[in-house]
Amino acid sequence: MPEKYEIVYPNILIVDDEKGIRDILRAFINISGYSCETVGSLREAQNKMEGKLFDIIFLDLNLEDGYGMDFIEKVLNENSDAIIVIVSGIPESKILVESIQNGAFDYVEKPFNLNNFHEKFESIIIEWRYRYLIKQYQLKFKDIFENYIKKKEINSKETRYKDFLNNSDVIIKPINNFIEKLNLPFPETRSHRERLASLCKLSGRKIGLKEESIMVLKYGAYLHDIGMSLEPSTILENPGLLSDDEIKLLKRHPITGFSIVERFPFFDKVSRLILHHHEWYNGDGYPIGLSEDTIPIEARIFSIIDAFDSMIIGRPYKKKMSYSETIKELRRSKGKQFDPLVVDTFVQIPEETINIIYIKKSTEEESYVTKDQLSND
């Protein structure tokens, strides 16, 4: 797993039968700080791919030995994560849809200029980095699970699952160490995750969930926003207003988080909590737009806890609220954002109990959340 500031570069291949185009593309890519290889035919591309995995391929359509569009499937069979960008003189409006349908990521229309290309290339690199990191994160989680299984010397899948839930700290610790190294925006601090985990346990018990669901909630507290860390730091560290495109990128974090952990059998329900933690009870949420009981109960509970924490702690762009204002706001959102029954149960948790969590589990930067402030209505 690369550390936060380790720089990793993609393998880039240009496939075009015109030497002039290959040279211009290579020059543009070099100016952007990346290197690449070039070939003039599909046959040569095939040969190159036999010895090396390419992450980004700029692919001409009309080549002497074949049609580029027919080559996409072959490339994706070798590397399903490859990003293919069609390069052609056909107007974008006529060919973009067909290219995407065939599995290409984007389209660059010839002749191109440096400015247009630079913009496209930036989005291609963002996508490559995103796919690369998903794979790295999956490997990291695989490591954590394999270590756990090795340590526990447990063979039966069922016993493993039970044991896994009962020994969450064995897993939570390496997960937490991993998350700490990631680039996550405020308020994704260790204390934030611990506060959420404590509230999850409290609320889960109050609602009468089974122990398994309470553990799912606890894992959700640690992992719900892991997908955010895959987005560019220019977005994550921007305290100001974001563009529509940037908001779109941030809003994919539930899907990203889901795809990182869904393959692990113990994390089946956890991955669904991650996927649905921004759904609204009335169907206005994202990423799927599920409503009412179709949203897993753990996600319905978690979304209230996450909102409670963000209101009581505040955000760079939003003033923190008092305890009673927060409770009023939760009640006001009953049936819209939140499950009414879950809100009714959550607000029954005594304020003093919540105070204890917030005083104990707030870091220096959040130290303005004191008992007095929480109670000060």
Instruction: Show the tokens assigned to 323.
Output: 């305890």
Q: Rule CB under 5 A: choose which of 106, 194, 225, 366 binds Fe ion.
A: 225
Q: How many chain residues are in contact with Fe ion, going by CB under 5 A?
A: 1
Residues 142-171 that bind Fe ion (CB under 5 A): none
* Residue with smallest beta-carbon separation from Fe ion: 225
Instruction: Show the tokens assigned to 290.
Output: 């599920």
* Burial class of residue 284 (count of CB atoms within 10 Å of its CB; 0-12, 13-18, 19+): exposed
Instruction: Show the tokens assigned to 107.
Output: 């389209």
CB of 311 to Fe ion, least distance (A): 15
Residue closer to Fe ion by CB (options 21, 230) is 230
CB of 323 within 8 A of CB of 351?
yes
CB of 96 to Fe ion, least distance (A): 31
CB of 360 to Fe ion, least distance (A): 24
Residue closer to Fe ion by CB (options 203, 355) is 203
The piece of 8-16, 40-48, 115-123, 221-229 that touches Fe ion (CB under 5 A) is 221-229
CA distances, 335 to each of 20, 62, 306, 329 (Å)? 61, 56, 17, 12
Residue closer to Fe ion by CB (options 106, 225) is 225
Q: Half-sphere exposure of residue 72, counting CA atoms within 13 Å on the CB side?
A: 22
Residue closer to Fe ion by CB (options 225, 231) is 225
The piece of 218-226, 255-263, 320-328, 367-375 that touches Fe ion (CB under 5 A) is 218-226
The piece of 106-114, 220-228, 312-320, 359-367 that touches Fe ion (CB under 5 A) is 220-228
Q: Half-sphere exposure of residue 257, counting CA atoms within 13 Å on the CB side?
A: 30
Q: What are 87's strand-pairing partners?
A: 60, 108
Q: How many residues in the chain?
A: 377
Neighbours of 331 (CB within 10 A): 13
CB of 67 to Fe ion, least distance (A): 43
Q: How far apart are CA 130 and CA 179, in angstroms?
A: 16
The piece of 129-137, 208-216, 217-225, 230-238 that touches Fe ion (CB under 5 A) is 217-225
Q: Which H helix or E strand runs over 290?
A: none
The piece of 25-33, 49-57, 223-231, 323-331 that touches Fe ion (CB under 5 A) is 223-231
The piece of 32-40, 65-73, 219-227, 239-247 that touches Fe ion (CB under 5 A) is 219-227
Q: How far apart are CA 129 and CA 232, in angstroms?
A: 9
CB of 274 to Fe ion, least distance (A): 8
Nearest to 223 by CA among 287, 309, 137, 313: 137
Residue closer to Fe ion by CB (options 225, 366) is 225
Residue closer to Fe ion by CB (options 191, 256) is 256
Nearest to 257 by CA among 136, 132, 137, 105: 137
CB of 253 to Fe ion, least distance (A): 6
CB of 353 to Fe ion, least distance (A): 25
Residue closer to Fe ion by CB (options 131, 276) is 276
Residues 7-46 that bind Fe ion (CB under 5 A): none
* Burial class of residue 279 (count of CB atoms within 10 Å of its CB; 0-12, 13-18, 19+): buried
CB of 227 to Fe ion, least distance (A): 8
55 binds Fe ion (CB under 5 A): no
The piece of 6-14, 39-47, 80-88, 225-233 that touches Fe ion (CB under 5 A) is 225-233
Buried b (16+ CB within 10 A) or exposed e, 116-144: ebeebbeebbbebbbbbbbeebbebbeeb
Q: Which H helix or E strand runs over 376?
A: none
Q: Which H helix or E strand runs over 157?
A: helix 157-166
Residues that bind Fe ion (CB under 5 A): 225
